Amino acid sequence: MKATIQHNGATFTVDLSQPIDISIPLTNNEQNPIAWYIDKPVIEPVKMGDWIGKVSEGSSTNFNNIFFNPHGHGTHTECLGHITRDFYSINQALKQFFFIAELVSVQPEEQGEDLVITKLQIEKALNGKTPEALVIQTLPNTLDKKSKNYSNTNPPYIEEAGAVYIRECGIKHLLIDLPSVDREQDEGKLLAHKAFWNVKDVNSLNADARHDATITEMVFIKDEVKDGSYLLNLQIASFENDASPSKPTLYKL
């Protein structure tokens, strides 16, 4: 099924029968990616006395509890409530779900012991484009991103100036294949998060903080998906929480 969309005076054709899912499934085994020093997710049947919510154990239905953390267990989308004293919900922040997105590939630069995505790299990759959403794939693009335990590995991150540049381009939705846009151990500074959401004080938000902007972390883009322009469908579960597991899907324009 094909659809025609218009954006900024341009007309695009989208084949909706060819979705490109860039989310990572949540599982309860060792193949599930992990960050922030937590254990793997738990998916198990409800047990009440002798009753077990599992068809193979005699129940009429499979009836599982799921215990997971959206930030540490896979693809998730978060709002500025992730870093503020006051509560803000991703379910209230994200009210539109289709965006023109640009996918770019960047090889983080060595800076001392760190690997950093710089403003200059982002500027060069965008090449003057100002999409609604930016999807960053880091190079090398290894399959272990889908199952890696990132805890205590100091993954690459975006420098503060790069996040400022993304914000100043008017990009509302940032997606990346890393567990965080910030350094794993940064003494709680969260410079890229704050720069992207324009949050200067987590205890008292400035008037121009970006309540409708989102960050999606721990996506995975297959090698055959090439850099370029896409239609992004950014779907979340309706959690009243700072973050939700999400299923971002791209459609080639």
Model confidence pLDDT, tens digit, residues 124-175: 999 999 999 999 999 999 999 999 999 999 999 999 999 999 999 999 999 9
Which two structure tokens, joined as six digits, stand for 32? 């599930």
Backbone angles phi, psi at 108, to 5 degrees: -55, 145
Q: Is the Cβ–Cβ distance between 124 and 156 less than 8 Å?
A: no
- pLDDT tens digits, 199-230: 999 999 999 999 999 999 999 999 999 999 99
Q: Is 193 helix (H, G, I), strand (E, B) or coil?
A: helix
Give the integer Cα–Cα distance in Å for 40 and 32.
Answer: 7
Q: Is the Cβ–Cβ distance between 36 and 151 less than 8 Å?
A: yes
* pLDDT on residue 213: 98
Q: In this model, does residue 10 exceed pLDDT 90? A: no
- pLDDT tens digits, 22-59: 999 999 999 999 999 999 999 999 999 999 999 999 99
* pLDDT on residue 8: 80
Which residues lie below 8 Å from residue 143, measured CB to CB, with a gap of 6+?
none
Q: Is the Cβ–Cβ distance between 196 and 210 less than 8 Å?
A: yes
* pLDDT on residue 116: 98
CATH class of 2-29+70-252: alpha beta
Q: In this model, does residue 186 exceed pLDDT 90? A: yes
Q: Taking the mean position of all CA atoms in its chain, how far away is CA 159?
A: 17
Produce one character per residue of 207-237: b if its CB has 16 or more CB atoms within 10 Å, e if not: eebbeebbbbbbbbbeeebeeebbbbbbebe
Cis, peptide link before residue 248, omega less than 30° from 0: no
Give the integer Cα–Cα distance in Å for 200 and 24.
Answer: 32
Q: In this model, does residue 6 exceed pLDDT 90? A: no
Give the integer Cα–Cα distance in Å for 185 and 58.
Answer: 48
Which residues lie below 8 Å from residue 133, measured CB to CB, with a gap of 6+?
99, 100, 101, 102, 171, 172, 173, 174, 175, 232, 234
Q: In this model, does residue 9 exceed pLDDT 90? A: no
Task: For the beta carbon of residue 194, count every other beta carbon within 10 angstroms.
Answer: 21
- Least confidently predicted of 7-16, 31-40, 71-80, 162-171: 7-16
Share of the chain above pLDDT 90, in %: 95
* pLDDT on residue 91: 98
Give the integer Cα–Cα distance in Å for 205 and 198.
Answer: 9
Across the chain, mean pLDDT equals: 97
- Least confidently predicted of 1-5, 113-117, 182-186, 248-252: 1-5
